[in-house]
Amino acid sequence: MKPILSMLKIIPILLLSVACAENENIKPHIPQPEPVGPKEYSFSTTPSWVDEFDYEGLPDVKKWGYDVGSQNNGWGNNELQYYTEADLENASVGGGVLTITAKKEDFEGFGYTSARLVSKGKGDFLYGRFEVRAKVPPGKGTWAAAWMLPTDWAYGGWPASGEIDILEHVGYDQDVVHISMHTEAYNHGINTQKTATKKIQNATTEFHVYRVDWTPDYIKGFVDDVEMFHFVNEKKGYAVWPFDKRFHWLLNLAVGGDWGGQMGVDEGAFPAKMEVDYVRVYDLQ
């Protein structure tokens, strides 16, 4: 009887051992953590700084000043215009738009006049959504731009402190618009600039909305709410990413220059007009 009892005691142990062995081969279902994607930022729905150009006369002095002079002042790209100050012939507001006009006329030793509006000291920003609704001029030799430069130049002169180009258009390449970023590591001087281009069939005859979303981690560029540019903060210092300091707006229409004048200048294209329906800034939330 004892051997039988011993066997009866062993059988449950064997069954338990088999069950445990089988369970060891069954891996528990532990869901894998979802990969962490890049942070997406949001912006206020109401602009914190805006010019709707719903008045008449000169641009609002509370929002805009002027860069006055020419490339002889130490800036410019071998352009042919002299930028005037508070001259209705070159910068005026009426009919709900700002009009910047480049004219063929002799002034201060230059053959053209135009205007370059700046918000420095009146609208300086660190991060946000920057939006401009504009119509650019046709014609060889025109070079229209809505862009941003550093207010404090904390990392040194161009391009070390950066440049944000929200809209650029040169008339010899009609309806092709550009969004670009320039830094010490990435700039057109060494042909490494970060640029996106888009062909718009009616950029010179209709208004379009040009925009950048500037955050601590990326800058995205859009035309009519369609993303066309994405520049990521590589976390490698100011030479790659100087965009942690204040910047301000510039609106201007240049004539000729290293880029705008590559195919010559059609004198018949002047006076040329860049029209701006509004400029808006939305805070980063």
Q: Is residue 266 part of a domain?
A: yes
Alpha-carbon 91 to chain mean position: 24
Active site residue 79: no
What is the pLDDT confidence band of residue 34, given thresholds at 50, 70 and 90? very low
Active site residue 89: no
Q: Is residue 155 part of a domain?
A: yes
Q: Which range of residues forms the domain containing residue 166?
A: 49-282
Q: Is residue 20 part of a domain?
A: no
Q: Is 154 exposed, middle or buried (0-12, 13-18, 19+ CB in 10 A)?
A: middle
What average pLDDT is seen over the chain? 90
What is the pLDDT confidence band of residue 40, given thresholds at 50, 70 and 90? confident
Please report the beta strands in the chain, taking only residues with DSSP state E, as ranges in sequence order.
Answer: 49-51, 65-66, 81-83, 91-94, 97-107, 110-114, 116-118, 124-125, 128-135, 142-150, 163-170, 176-182, 194-199, 208-214, 218-223, 226-232, 247-255, 272-282
pLDDT > 80? residue 7: no
Q: What's the CATH number where 97 sits? A: 2.60.120.200
Catalytic residue selected from 131, 168, 184, 275? 168
pLDDT > 50? residue 20: no
Which of helix, strand or coil describes residue 258? helix
Ranking 38-42, 103-107, 108-112, 154-158 by mean pLDDT, the lowest is 38-42
| Contacts of residue 24, Cβ cutoff 8 Å, sequence gap at least 6 | none
Alpha-carbon span 200 to 138, nearest angstrom: 13
Catalytic residue selected from 24, 52, 131, 163? 163
Beta 49-51 vs 272-282: how paired, if at all?
antiparallel
pLDDT > 60? residue 261: yes
Q: Is residue 147 part of a domain?
A: yes
Beta 91-94 vs 247-255: how paired, if at all?
unpaired
Q: Is residue 38 part of a domain?
A: no
The tens digit of pLDDT for each residue in 188-228 reads 999 999 999 999 989 999 999 999 999 999 999 999 999 99
Q: Is residue 3 part of a domain?
A: no
Q: Is residue 259 part of a domain?
A: yes
Quote the number of domains for the chain.
Answer: 1
pLDDT > 70? residue 11: no
Closest Cα partner for 243 from 217, 272, 276? Answer: 217
Q: Is residue 41 part of a domain?
A: no
